[in-house]
Amino acid sequence: MVYRRMMSRGFVACTKKAMPALVAMLAMQLAGPMPQAVAANYPDHTIKVVTPFAPGAASDVELRYLAAKMSDALHVGVVVENRPGSGGVVAGRTVVNAAPDGYTIAWVGNSTAIGVSLFREPLDPRKVMRPIVGVSEFSNLFVTSEKSKFHTLQDVITFARKNPNMLKIGTSGAGTSNNLVAHLFALQSNLKVTIVPYRGPSELQIAIARGDIDLLINAYAGLQGVLKAHQARALAITSAKRDPEVPDVPTMAEAGVPNFVVTSWNAFYGPKGMPPEAVKVLETVVTKILQQPDTIAKFKSIGFDATAVPSDQLGKRMEFEIDRWHKVIQAAGIEKQ
């Protein structure tokens, strides 16, 4: 017996009072290594990143470039699994239901924050996931046809106020980021407009070039074709500062719409129980990759700004975005999907 052997070695002080500590020590030894010890070797095999975007989408291209860089830095495979559907809910549930060991993580973004208020059966990242690191963000442009009578955003606002519901704003599908930007613009500027959802950037570009819509809201990556062909002109950008890619385009504040800064974003999240040591490893590695000149240039070429956001700040960003879009969805009367 352990107690008898300890007594024989002179551990007379091992009384009933000391027994609980001894039992706890023995239990720890029998239980094997603690999670922290396992996490210290992280990662030692392939990491899977589940994304809600379809193969070939700009965010998918961005992620695959980053995954290759992460694989080189971590010396393990980093593979991408596409699980599109339901605004990121399908992909999110795949990660939430996986083992919380840091080997299955999620690629999330604005759609995840929007989905909390948009879907009848949402996935709330605040309850079932933990932030790892923010990766990138991008702004939206307010664009009109080159043949349009609107030359400034104030021209658009003046027309909309004089002609309720006559101004047609084209966006992606209902509940998408740029669609909600249009609703936010109308609500904040107290305008009555007609918001027309399209299936994607190509349809939007055709619509603005033909004059089917008066205004188009989308990311620069989805507008390069019509802008470079001089079929459309940008009136404002939703970032806090002007974008070097389109330096002549004013910010919303410069265009006469104050307190209107909206950027979409992408980030890594993990299951709620993911070890903090694994979070730290990924956060550190990804942050270093995002500071590399070739990463910055690659992201910029497909319309993204490499922007590392620490895990604690990322959680606050998610909270802010969920609250913001909840208010817009309610005020606009957008039905749950």
Does the pLDDT of residue 186 top 80, yes or no?
yes
Bin 164: left if φ > 0, else alpha if -120 < ψ < 50, else beta: beta
Instruction: Look at residue 38 and tell me whether its pLDDT is greater than 80.
Output: no
Predicted pLDDT at 166: 97
Q: Are residues 162 and 229 in the same domain?
A: yes
Answer yes or no: do 109 and 182 share one domain: no
User: Which carries the bigger pLDDT value, residue 211 or residue 71?
Assistant: 71
Do 215 and 276 reside in the same domain of the chain? no
Place of tokens 């939007």: 204
In a domain, 187, yes or no: yes
42 within domain boundaries: no
**Is residue 123 located within the same domain as residue 173?**
no
Which residues are within 8 A (CB) of 49 and not within 5 positions of it... i.e. 6 or more apart?
63, 67, 78, 79, 80, 81, 105, 106, 107, 268
Please give the mean pLDDT across all residues of the chain. 88
Question: DSSP string spanning 45-96?
Answer: S-EEEEESSPTTSHHHHHHHHHHHHHHHHHTS-EEEEE---GGGHHHHHHHH
Given this model, what pLDDT does residue 89 score? 84
- Which amino acid, one-letter code, is at 15? T
Euclidean distance between CA atoms 216 and 222, whole angstroms: 11
Q: Per the confidence metrics, is the pTM higher than 0.85? A: no
Number of domains in the chain: 2
Q: Give burial (CB, 10 Å; 0-12/13-18/19+) of 163.
A: exposed
Residue 51 domain-assigned (yes or no): yes
Asked if residue 271 and residue 227 are part of one domain, the reply reads no
Q: Return the H-helix or E-strand segment holding 215.
A: strand 215-219
Is residue 11 in a domain? no
| Residue scoring higher pLDDT (210 or 80) | 80
Position 18 in a domain = no
Within this chain, do residues 134 and 166 fall inside the same structural domain, yes or no?
A: no
39 within some domain = no
Here the CATH number for the domain that contains residue 211 is: 3.40.190.10
pLDDT of residue 39: 61
pLDDT in tens, 221-269: 888 888 888 889 999 999 999 998 899 999 999 999 999 999 999 999 9
Q: Do 143 and 106 fall within a single domain?
A: no
C-alpha torsion sign, points 99, 100, 103, 104: positive
Q: What pLDDT, on a 0 to 100 scale, did the predictor assign at position 224?
A: 82
For residue 6, the one-letter residue type is: M
Q: Are residues 119 and 193 in the same domain?
A: no
Query: pLDDT at position 25, please?
Result: 43
* pLDDT tens digits for range 290-302: 999 999 999 998 8
**Together in a domain, 217 and 173:** yes
Q: Are residues 127 and 270 in the same domain?
A: yes
Query: Is 30 inside a domain boundary?
Result: no
Residues 130 and 146 in one domain: no
Could you tell me which of 110, 180, 100 has the C-alpha nearest to residue 138? 110
Q: Do residues 131 and 278 touch, judged by C-beta distance below 8 A?
A: no
Q: Give me the CATH number covering residue 287.
A: 3.40.190.150
The last residue of a domain, from among 187, 221, 237: 237
Q: Does residue 313 belong to any structural domain of this protein?
A: yes
Are 57 and 112 in a shared domain? yes
Q: Which domain holds residue 130?
A: 47-138+265-332
